[in-house]
Amino acid sequence: MKKAIRFLPFAMAALLVLGGWTTQRMSLTAHQASFESARLNEYAKKNAPLISVSYLDNGIPLIVKKSDANRILSVKAVLVGHVADLDTPKAGVESMMLTMMERGSARYPYEEVQRILFERSASIGGSYGSFDMSSFDMTTIDTYFDEIFDLYADAFLHPSWNAEEFPRVLNDFRQNRQEAENDPYQRAVLVLHDELFSGHPYERSWAGTPDSLATLTLDDVKEHYRRTVSASRLFLVAVGDFDGDRLVARLNASFGKLPAAAYEPVAVPSFEGKVKTDLIVEPYEGSEGLAYVRGDFALPAPDHPDAAAVSVAFSILDDVLFEIVRTRNGAAYSAWASALGFKANYGCITVYRTSVPGKVKKYVDDSIAVLLSGRCLSGKVSASAEGKSGQGEAAASADRDRGFVPIAEALPFYKRQFITSFFSGQQTNSSVASQIASSAVYRGDCRDYLLLADRVNAVTPEDVVRVTGKYLRENPILWVVLGAPEVLKDVKREDFLSFQGK
């Protein structure tokens, strides 16, 4: 009998023990009941059967999304955990490890890697822009899959730790950090997060800190690989028109040989209760007469029942905020609201490039108050049409209600807008692989993204008002105002410590 992994029913797959961690700890199929429901949406009915979960000989989970829409094949090797597994003095070491994997392997010198990838229009590389996971990815046309996969697997399993390239990699990280510190907005975020993340696992930045980047060595990178890269921390995602048996054979002959070691995920506590309403004022001459305002606050995790309503509310607030801050009052170059999507989740409100930082907190609160009153911009004339791509002008009318409609009237538009934006970001096999990985890590089911439209469409106007009150009106917010000293003089601390909207 040929030895190969076998594709299992999802309910059975959820019970398997995987070399030190189980799918009960990080489930890949937690929402099986939803996929068996008679109310399952048509998109999920069509796509869920194309996604299968199986296991390599050493227990590494393999998620395959069958797609014959094109000839591109993508593979993603996902390492769960990331920054929570780092020691603070080694912040950034995993990102460097993944970058060093690109710089040559036991069988492929770096120059050969560059030549092959260029000639085949293929790519391999690390992805580490998440606190909670990182990955090493490959994308190629099917013609060259065997060749590129050999290179990719050798790079992951047998990196050469190119001593000549490491100083360049380290210098790139240091330069990126320096550029962030020199950019006023990024500097403001760094100042804010130094306070917000203090004592939390997320303080171990994936990009490195000044202290870690001053001391990290190639030996640190090699030791991190030896200590943390094992079958117990890994799962694989493959998207494309794969021959299942052939893919299994290739993976078992490579990744299937990786040893397993006990792995216990580090708990990542919520920011709820940690964030306190406060204001950081940071003078910075490099802001050239302008200021940058941002507030961060705790939000529910992506698997929380409020997550969909929060996403929709922030889409609505994003337009209202721009309308009031820029279009009506000409107070800033731009303004936006964002809900992130991490395990310890948080959101932010940003006013970008303002000459009147002492006034914008009132405009932000007025924007929130619009949603609290059950109103928003009309979906027929969005803030984008009103001026998001242009300068905008202060409103001639003092009527603060002008242009706003009941949320119930515009909500169908915002739901369609959000769902369209979400799925338009999954037009390539590599982006689908990323979404599958995120669904597994953050929602407990690799197919969960197929259910997003149902959750969004279930959001009511009352939900929008409720979560706006809960997470924006009643929630503590940590603010930073960074700017030139001359524009900070009118910033009043008390304005940022209380709600000014009406």
* Of the candidates 337, 329, 277, 298, the residue with the CA atom closest to the CA atom of residue 494: 277
Q: Tokens 């889409």 sit at which residue?
A: 315
Please report, to the nearest 10 degrees, the dihedral formed by the alpha carbons of residues 305, 307, 311, 314 taken in order. Answer: 100
Please tell me whether residues 232 and 376 are part of one structural domain: no
Task: Provide the CATH number for the domain around residue 109.
Answer: 3.30.830.10
User: 368 in a domain, yes or no?
Assistant: yes
CA dihedral for 80, 81, 83, 88, sign (positive or negative): negative
Residue 4 included in any domain:
no
Number of H helices, E strands in the chain: 20, 15
User: What's the CA dihedral at 429, 432, 436, 441 to 10 degrees?
Assistant: 110
- Looking at the structure, do residues 123 and 200 belong to the same domain, yes or no? yes
pLDDT at 380: 61
Q: What are phi and psi of 350, to 5 degrees?
A: -130, 135
Mean pLDDT calculated for residue range 113-119: 98
Q: Residue 201: what pLDDT?
A: 93
**pLDDT value of position 401:** 63
Whole-prediction pTM: 0.88
pLDDT tens-digit map of 437-458: 999 999 999 999 999 999 999 9
Least Cα distance to 303 among 426, 59, 132, 418 occurs for 132
Residue 264 lies in a domain: no
Q: Which residue has the tokens 């014959």?
A: 68
- What is the dihedral sign for C-alpha 162, 165, 171, 173? negative
Tens digits of per-residue pLDDT, 130-168? Answer: 999 999 999 999 999 999 999 999 999 999 999 999 999
220 and 283 belong to one structural domain: no
For β-strands 346-354 and 291-298, DSSP reports them as antiparallel
Sequence-distant (6+) residues with CB within 8 A of 171 are none
**Please, which pLDDT band fits residue 384 given cuts at 50, 70 and 90?**
very low
Q: What is the pLDDT of residue 400?
A: 54
Q: For 268-304, what is the HEC assignment?
A: CCCCCCCCCCEEEEEECHHHCCCEEEEEEEECCCCCC
Distance (Å, whole) CA 499 – CA 469? 11
E strands within 284-425?
A: 291-298, 334-339, 346-354, 375-377, 404-406
DSSP3 helix / strand / coil % (the chain, rounded to 5): 45, 20, 35
Does residue 142 belong to any structural domain of this protein?
yes
Alpha-carbon torsion (297, 298, 301, 304), positive or negative: negative
**Is residue 131 assigned to a domain?**
yes
Which segment of 31-35, 229-233, 260-264, 271-275 scores lowest on mean pLDDT?
A: 260-264
- Spatial distance between the Cα atoms of 450 and 447, rounded to a whole number of angstroms: 6
Q: How far apart are CA 376 and CA 406, in angstroms?
A: 6
Whether the pLDDT of residue 193 is over 60: the answer is: yes
Tens of pLDDT, residue by residue over 268-308, are: 999 999 999 999 999 999 999 999 999 999 999 999 999 99
| Closest to 237 measured CA to CA, from 67, 86, 68, 32 | 67
pLDDT tier for residue 488 given thresholds of 50, 70 and 90: very high
483 half-sphere exposure, CB direction, 13 A CA radius: 22
Per-residue pLDDT tens digits for 298-355: 999 999 999 999 999 999 999 999 999 999 999 999 999 999 999 999 999 999 999 9
Mean pLDDT of 85-100: 92
Residues 293 and 241 in one domain: no
Q: In DSSP terms, which residues pair with 338 in a beta bridge?
A: 348
Closest CA to 322 of 384, 278, 411: 384
Residue 425 has pLDDT above 90, yes or no: no
Under the banding of pLDDT at 50, 70 and 90, the label for residue 382 is very low
Do residues 249 and 350 share a domain?
Answer: no
pLDDT at 257: 94
Rounded Cα distance between 4 and 172, Å, is: 42
Evaluate if residue 264 carries a pLDDT over 50.
yes
**Looking at the domain assignment, is residue 271 inside a domain?**
no
Do the domain assignments include residue 502? no
Using one digit for the tens of pLDDT, what is the confidence trace for 2-34? 333 333 334 334 333 333 334 334 578 888 898
Which positions ≥6 away from 75 have C-beta within 8 Å?
137, 138, 149, 152, 236, 237, 238, 433
- Domain limits for position 202: 10-34+44-257
pLDDT score of 405: 95
> For residue 363, is it within any domain?
yes
Number of domains in the chain: 2
Percentage of residues of the chain with pLDDT beyond 70: 90
Cβ atoms within 10 Å, residue 270: 17
